[in-house]
Amino acid sequence: MAPPPAASLLLLPLLLLLLPVLAPARELASVGRQLHAAAAAAADDKAPPSTAPAQKFVLEPLPYNYSALEPVISAQIMQLHHDFHDGVEYVGTLNAVLGPLAGSGTATLPDLVGLVGRGALPPDLELVVRNFGGGHWNHQMFWKVMAPPSSANISRDNISPALSAAISGGFGSVDEMLSRFKLLADGHFGSGWAWLCAAGDGGLRLLDTANQDNPLMGVVLKDPCVPILGIDVWEHAYYLQYGPKKPDYTKAWLTIINWQQVSANYDAAKRGDLAFIGTAF
């Protein structure tokens, strides 16, 4: 989805800050080789080399109308949040900075995000992946784990037996898990996220992260924990509607969780399908 010209102009100051990352051609090629080598190392070494053409990062459309989450989240917030923050800010920057490096077809967004904090990416590039790649992947998951208040998917009857067992084993009940989740979100200082994530053994844990960090990144956890549910507590996610009353936002948000999607995310986490949960590009 191409941003409108006015939105593109809003991106210019952001790109000016990133000019040091946009290296001369020889440096760019060198960084590209490092990027592809790191991504290849993270991929299955038995997989044949990819000859796919370069792929651009893409802003997928919302799975519902801008107004579909009202009265919990207004159409104005959803349009600004999706089109500008995810689209212009995150996807636009990723394509401007990383687009020339995506030649091998192996460096998917989950590959790159998982390498943050693990010493595999050049520092300047890692900063872009951490902030803008993390922002895009996080938001692509965020849109999916919400459903309209009228949707049958928000019923807890949609919680799969596997996810129900994991929640009971880790927290005792869904109510207790959501109570702790809300406390994390309400208590998070500044911009960031609260997460429910699945560890390698299938167990669940709660944690919060700053800015666009997520539990896949080495800067957060040594061993990745795959997010299956996350709430955005950046002010742009709620302030136009709730003002400084973040607890009111989080309370309302808990009523529109798409439990069918969260259950599917749990299954995807166990099989390592991070593109299903968030996005591949």
The answer to whether residue 62 is domain-embedded is no
**223 and 98 in a common domain:** no
CB 188 within 8 Å of CB 208: yes
**202 and 133 in a common domain:** no
**201 and 125 in a common domain:** no
Q: Please tell me the total count of domains within the chain.
A: 2
**158 and 135 in a common domain:** no
The answer to whether residue 191 is domain-embedded is yes
Give the pLDDT of the chain (281 residues) as one tens digit per residue: 444 434 443 443 444 344 344 443 344 344 444 554 554 554 444 344 343 444 689 999 999 999 999 999 999 999 999 999 999 999 999 999 887 655 445 578 999 999 999 999 999 999 999 999 999 999 999 999 999 999 999 999 999 999 999 999 999 999 999 999 999 999 999 999 999 999 999 999 999 999 999 999 999 999 999 999 999 999 999 999 999 999 999 999 999 999 999 999 999 999 999 999 999 98
Amino acid 108: pLDDT? 85
**138 and 12 in a common domain:** yes
The answer to whether residue 34 is domain-embedded is yes
CB 116 within 8 Å of CB 218: yes
Amino acid 228: pLDDT? 99
**138 and 157 in a common domain:** no
Phi, psi of 257 (to 5 degrees): -70, 130
**135 and 22 in a common domain:** yes
The CA-based dihedral angle spanning residues 122, 127, 131, 136, taken in that order and rounded to the nearest 10 degrees: -20
**242 and 126 in a common domain:** no
The answer to whether residue 244 is domain-embedded is yes
**Of 144, 174, 197, which residue is a domain's last?**
144
- Residues ≥6 apart with Cβ < 8 Å to 59: 1, 82, 83, 86, 87, 91
Please report, for the domain that includes residue 263, its CATH number.
3.55.40.20
**125 and 92 in a common domain:** yes
Q: Which of 126, 106, 110, 109 is nearest to 118 (CA)?
A: 126
The answer to whether residue 189 is domain-embedded is yes
**Of 121, 144, 167, which residue is a domain's last?**
144
**117 and 38 in a common domain:** yes
**Long-range Cβ pairs for the range 264-271 (8 Å, 24+):** 265/141, 265/144, 265/145, 265/227, 265/228, 265/229, 266/160, 266/162, 266/163, 266/166, 266/198, 266/228, 267/160, 267/162, 268/226, 268/228, 269/197, 269/198, 269/226, 269/228, 270/198, 270/202
Q: Which domain holds residue 268?
A: 152-277
**Of 144, 162, 188, which residue is a domain's last?**
144
**95 and 189 in a common domain:** no
Q: Which of 228, 226, 227 is nearest to 160 (CA)?
A: 228
**270 and 224 in a common domain:** yes
The answer to whether residue 60 is domain-embedded is no
The answer to whether residue 266 is domain-embedded is yes
Cross-strand partners of 207: 195
Q: Distance between CA 73 and CA 255 in Å, rounded?
A: 11
